[in-house]
Structure 1
Amino acid sequence: MHSRSRKALGIAVASALALTVSACGREGGDGGDRGSGGEASPGITDDSVTLGISTPLSGATAGPGTCTVAGITAYFGMKNAEGGVEFGDGKTRTVEIEALDDTYDPQQAKANYDQLKDDVFAMTAGLGTPTNRAWRDAAIADEVPQALIMTGDPLFSDPEESPWQLGFVPIYQNEGEAFGELLASSGQQHRVAILSQNDDYGEGYVEGFKSAVEGADNIEIVEELTYEATDTSVDAQMTELAASDADVMFNAMSLVPLAVSALQKAQQLNWTPSWFLPSNTSSPGGVLTPGGATAFPGVYSVAFSKAPAGPAAGDPDVVEYLAALKQYGDYQDPPAFPHCQWSWMVGATLEQAFGEMTEPTRENFMEALRGISGFEAPLMLPDTSVDTTEAGQPAVSTVVVQKYNGKGYDTVTTFE
């Protein structure tokens, strides 16, 4: 069965967003709900499964947050239209997705989890490190899967510390390291300025970058500043960084409005270094175009998914994805944020786990989820894949560096 959300996913939603799409679900079952014979966990029946999402659907991160719901909804909507997804127990199930708005607020994210936990089989796809951390301990205590969430926090990919968790996107250190390696291998002298978010997000990116350039005699970090996730402006930091005369800006920033304003402020200061932006704040439509990114000699980011704009625009995977996003995800325009692609890939990865489940239990689902290796999910870039078997790494740990070409990104192997 399939019923669309009452509000288009392409706009911010101020309250709970309930979506019902068909597909297959995960099987549940840990704790008191799992009997010795594989008694079904909450949120799953022989015919359907319910998944929960807590993500920002309003506020400053509503754009990427909305995408975390749209992509997975579109994927399972398409699969439902094809007859559904067959689980490893031989049953075909539909999926009901219940998505609640947390506005990127940790307290609201915890409240959303408390509201959903007894009715859903698993939580998935939600965006944010502080918001996902807010209910991580509770999910462990309740034995509720927090599966393939949108955070690069390594804690969620440590099976000993987080037995019911698994991140989807690369950890922050992986992204920072990829750019550092590219820069260090350039053979040219570079002065680097760093602006990072003053939390685990920013620290992870900077840690990865510094580890890659350590010992490189052509790289000098000349200024390093931070900002708070609650800040509404980074103009003061940008003014100080511009005075460093750095030719490279390493900007570990998670907030879209601040990423745009940082690009704009640099131009006002007549400072035009090359930039590195994290994958989640490097959208051509959402960040680079309004930020005037073509004014800089190069804007770099990392990626693992094909994008609707740029070289992959006519790719069959992209064409299929965009059609389903419009039909089943209520997302009418090409997405400005990569999170739509990522959550589509989350859906495909979940389908792989569903196909290996032999019992309708949460425990069996987690076992199946942690056994995926070398899976080339739809929309994956060459040289990347899904591998959930490596402790300490999320489902996707491989990335490629890309350079903005004025419309989309081109994959590069050298820094120019």
Structure 2
Amino acid sequence: MNTNRRRTLAIGTAAVAAPYLNTVFAQAKKEVKLGQTMPYSGPASAYGTIGKLHQAFFAKVNADGGVNGTKIDLVSLDDGYSPPKTVEQVRRLVEQENVDALFQTLGTPSNSAIHKYVNAKKMPHLFVATGATKWNDPKNYPWTFGFNLSYQTEGEIYAKYILKTKPNAKIAILYQNDDYGKDLLAGIEHVLSGDKAKMIVAKATYEVTDATVDSQILTLKASGADTMINICTPKFSAQAIRRVFDSGWRPPLHIVNNVGASVGSVLTPAGLDKSSGVITVQYYKDESDPVWKDDAAMLEWRGFMGRYYKDGNVLDASNVYAYITANLMLQTLKQCNGNYGRDNIRKQAESIRGWKHGLLLPGIVANTSPTDHSPIDQAQLSKFDGKKWVLFGEVLGGGAA
């Protein structure tokens, strides 16, 4: 064989082999990249455990072979619960990391800061870790999806419960001075409107940069209220519960919003004895409730915690929440059938139908559609007995699934 013929064959072989080698290389590098911001530092750092569990969860999924052979790369960045930092980190995720979707970015003020940007970029903004109603606006923000029970729905549940059980209540409300606090307050005031509005005798706000809420609690106590509604994130929720008790104020009805009601990160620091009798809503199971001691889904979750997230607190409800949201993200990726283009990820996020997870309370399922980006719209009231949350009443909230 002459030199020219050898060269021609070599080039031809390389030309044939190149697509094959590129395909093999692409398969070897095949992954879907998710991005998120979490408050690993700052005033809402108690929620950082959510991101840590997500990382452990997807590491397990990858160890088990990924999603249909595709590995999941989760890039989780600290934003300190500071909206300017959230903007900076999300720009990094979108423009430098080139993520395929954002997942569970946490906080109402944080997500508000990136809401328009991610939609302009046509970036799937999935299952955000906040319950503001604005996340369910597919007409104007088609790339954003909520997860949590809507804060307004939660507020409406509390107000209806008060009207039913304590129609002459004098209500004091402490709330975070941002869209999160105002959204839940709007739900309460929607029900307590007209003549009923006078039931609210005092309101006080706090900023996430405040050191304590002690002065606000004393102001609310001085109003003579016999019903307290606590709309706070974990750090301030624990402070409020403890200060209410230590001040000698004993409102017969004390309501704590769901995101500030974890036994591990709120009630234990506040004092379990001081937390006894408070009421909240729940839409997923609580580890401290012996009803779920032998529950199959809870056993699976405990097994996961013991093997893959040993540093996680099993009494922190955020770790149950995080496991559910991670599974919903996994379900969305499974439905993609290997097509992880942003358009298809959004399409599949809009196609959650009757999704049940064992850690959701019985009767509660997740549904989405092109006109409804809020998977969860139901919950059940629960009362803390000094050791555990005890469910009571019926599943309330949105229409039956």
Using the size of structure 1 for normalisation, the TM-score is 0.81
For structure 2, list consecutive stretches of 5 or more residues without a partner in the other structure.
1-25, 395-401
CA distance in 2 between counterparts of 1:297 and 1:214 reads 30
Whether the 8 Å CA contact 2:109–2:180 is kept in 1: the answer is: no
Counterpart of 2:203 (choices 196, 216, 224) is 224
SS in 2 for 1:249: strand
1:107 is aligned to: 84
1:67 is aligned to: 49
Amino acid across the alignment from 2:71: T
What is the Cα deviation at residue 116 of structure 1?
1.4
Whether the 8 Å CA contact 1:263–1:293 is kept in 2: the answer is: no
SS in 2 for 1:352: helix
Q: 1:130 to 1:331 in 2, by over 3 A?
A: farther
What is the Cα deviation at residue 242 of structure 1?
0.7
What is the Cα deviation at residue 333 of structure 1?
4.0
Amino acid across the alignment from 2:264: G
Amino acid across the alignment from 1:388: T
CA distance in 2 between counterparts of 1:296 and 1:114 reads 41
Percent of residue pairs bearing the same amino acid type: 27
Matched pairs, number: 364
> Which runs of at least 4 in structure 1 moved beyond 6 Å after TM superposition?
43-46, 215-219
What is the Cα deviation at residue 218 of structure 1?
11
CA distance in 1 between counterparts of 2:78 and 2:57 reads 21
Counterpart of 1:412 (choices 388, 392, 395) is 392
Whether the 8 Å CA contact 1:74–1:327 is kept in 2: the answer is: no
Amino acid across the alignment from 2:44: T
Counterpart of 1:356 (choices 319, 326, 335) is 335
Task: Say yes or no: does 1:134 pair with 2:113.
Answer: yes
Whether the 8 Å CA contact 2:368–2:374 is kept in 1: the answer is: yes
Counterpart of 1:403 (choices 362, 383, 392) is 383
Amino acid across the alignment from 1:58: S
Q: 1:331 to 1:216 in 2, by over 3 A?
A: farther
What is the Cα deviation at residue 223 of structure 1?
1.4
CA distance in 2 between counterparts of 1:217 and 1:98 reads 48
CA distance in 1 between counterparts of 2:83 and 2:274 reads 36
Whether the 8 Å CA contact 2:230–2:256 is kept in 1: the answer is: yes
Q: 1:48 to 1:276 in 2, by over 3 A?
A: same
1:84 is aligned to: 66
Whether the 8 Å CA contact 1:123–1:144 is kept in 2: the answer is: yes
CA distance in 2 between counterparts of 1:165 and 1:336 reads 30
Task: Say yes or no: does 1:234 pair with 2:217.
Answer: no
SS in 1 for 2:127: strand
Task: Say yes or no: does 1:260 pair with 2:243.
Answer: no
CA RMSD of aligned residues (A): 2.5
For structure 1, list consecutive stretches of 5 or more residues without a partner in the other structure.
1-42, 87-91
Counterpart of 1:269 (choices 237, 242, 247) is 247
Greater fraction of residues in helix? 2
Counterpart of 2:262 (choices 269, 280, 283) is 283
What is the Cα deviation at residue 208 of structure 1?
0.9
Structure with the bigger RCO (C-alpha within 8 Å, sep 6+) is 1
SS in 1 for 2:165: coil
What is the Cα deviation at residue 354 of structure 1?
2.1
Q: 1:239 to 1:44 in 2, by over 3 A?
A: farther
CA distance in 2 between counterparts of 1:233 and 1:288 reads 16
Amino acid across the alignment from 1:51: L
Whether the 8 Å CA contact 1:147–1:166 is kept in 2: the answer is: yes
What is the Cα deviation at residue 393 of structure 1?
5.2
SS in 1 for 2:352: coil
Amino acid across the alignment from 2:39: P
1:332 is aligned to: 311
Whether the 8 Å CA contact 1:260–1:288 is kept in 2: the answer is: yes
Task: Say yes or no: does 1:117 pair with 2:94.
Answer: yes
1:24 is aligned to: none
Instruction: Give the number of the structure whose alpha-carbon radius of gyration is greater.
Output: 2
